[in-house]
Amino acid sequence: MAEPVSQVVASMPRARLVGLIAMFLGPALAVYVIFSIYPLIATMALSTYTTDTEGAYHFVGLQNFTTLLTDAIWSKPFWNAAKNNLIFFIVHMLVQNPIGVALAGLLSLPGLKLKGLYRTLIFLPTMLSVVIVGFAWSLILSPLWGVAEGALKAVGLGSLFHPWLGLPSTALVTLSLISVWQFVGIPMMLIYAALLNIPDELVDAARVDGLGHFRIFLHIKLPLVLPTIGLISILTFVANFNAFDLIYSVKGALAGPNFASDILGTFFYRTFFGNQLQLGNPTMGAAVATVMFFIILAGVCAYLFLIQSRMRRYAF
């Protein structure tokens, strides 16, 4: 009879054990350090420097962050981008995730035909390139050659059409809803997988007690998938505060009109690489990236220590 794996590992010489660990984990750890840890540390280090007219670097400590948060030239676009990023995230939380929960609940209904087809059609936009999605929706919503106006007129709602992507009051929300349309399949699939893991005995007992599908979902299934919903929420937070590609593909680096759709990702791009309105400033760009990192870190820590810990205590 073969020895248990734990006994084999315990009796293995320490040098050999370390060698095996290094052989299996070393390559992955090296790739992670080179492409994730080192760029992060280098960015933080760069944010503490400034350059003179000759391009020489000088250490200034936290001066770049003070300038970013308080200087009139830098603080106004930064706080505008941060506010827009928060709105971008709220739209996803209030629209994308509830729709994902509802779609997952519908797909989990017993007896529903063509479930695989529905899942594929809903998840399909997620696999499309963001550039393609942005370009396609720009054409659809265009007041010159788009089909949106004609479609609304066909159902008697033509008066509701406006150049939503061209108005400062609606551009950001419109882009947020485009992002929702593309990525709603992700929370749907995660919640659907969690619903499939619910024991059938609980659902059968609820049916015996006379509960319908809606009440079973609301009172039995939904509380059991709350940890998954919490995980989806923090994933949405991280993804939204890292967002860049959709805004850039539709509105460019200036995130118009009049910076109405500017978020932290596009603000960082303009700051670091420059554009037709300003020269690139790598040190200030690194400061923006560092602030973005700490915003995301704060959100993740809040989830882990305030929400996830309570869920674990409740489970115990």
Q: Report the chain (316 residues): mean pLDDT per 10 consecutive residues.
A: 60 80 89 94 96 87 94 94 97 96 92 90 94 93 90 90 94 97 96 92 88 89 91 94 94 91 96 86 95 95 78 56
Rounded distance between C-alpha atoms, residue 86 and residue 179, angstroms: 14
- pLDDT value for 20: 83
- pLDDT value for 1: 47
- pLDDT value for 4: 60
Residue 176's nearest CA partner among 299, 73, 88, 102 is: 88
| 209 class by beta-carbon count within 10 Å (0-12 exposed, 13-18 middle, 19+ buried) | exposed
Q: Are strands 278-279 and 274-275 parallel, antiparallel or unpaired?
A: antiparallel
Mean per-residue pLDDT of the chain: 90
Measure Cα distances from 222 to 97, 105, 109, 305 in Å. 13, 9, 13, 22
pLDDT tens string 82-127: 999 999 999 999 999 999 999 999 998 888 888 889 999 999 999 9
Of the chain, the percentage scoring pLDDT greater than 90 comes to 68
What is the value of pTM for the model shown? 0.90
pLDDT tens string 175-211: 999 999 999 999 999 999 999 999 989 888 988 888 8
Rounded distance between C-alpha atoms, residue 165 and residue 172, angstroms: 8
- pLDDT value for 304: 83
Rounded distance between C-alpha atoms, residue 310 and residue 306, angstroms: 7
Q: Interhelix angle for 226-241 vs 282-302, to 10°?
A: 170
